[in-house]
Amino acid sequence: MNARQQDQAADANNRYMRITIDCPHCGSRCVACDSRAMSKTMREITYRCRNWRCGFTGVATLEFQRVLVLSSIPAADVSLPLSRHIKRGQLALQLADEGNVADDEAAYAANLHAPTNDWGTGGAMSGAPPD
């Protein structure tokens, strides 16, 4: 088993995902050896190449780009752009509030399933079929 396979086997046993990146010089796996917060939404991470012959060490940044699911306890000082699917959902809610679209849709759905009687006022079994 080579070093890369051993790393993969060790990672499979870890409970949390570890963000790794390949060395831009030799292609070996780099591991995070230090990290510091730059803001609430960004961290600066120092990576070191696992190939001791290469010896590369570099800094990368990890930053939140957009919101996929809104927080139920949002921080007032965090401002991230919303993903497109959240924007569509919020727009639909705004339209529903403005024009009672939800009530109109409910009435329409109820009419779709309302029973119709094509055989007159009696039941289907009470009389002869229509001409």
Which one, of 21, 35, 30, lies nearest residue 56 by Cα? 30
pLDDT of 87 reads 64
Tell me the pLDDT tens digit for each residue of 2-58. Answer: 766 666 666 665 556 678 899 999 999 999 999 999 999 999 999 999 999 999 999
51 CB-near residues (< 8 Å, 6+ apart): 23, 26, 28
79 has a pLDDT exceeding 60: yes
Across 101-126, average pLDDT = 56
Distance CA 30, CA 48 (A): 5
Asked if residues 127 and 119 have their Cβ atoms less than 8 Å apart, the reply is: yes
Which one, of 14, 49, 52, 16, lies nearest residue 32 by Cα? 49
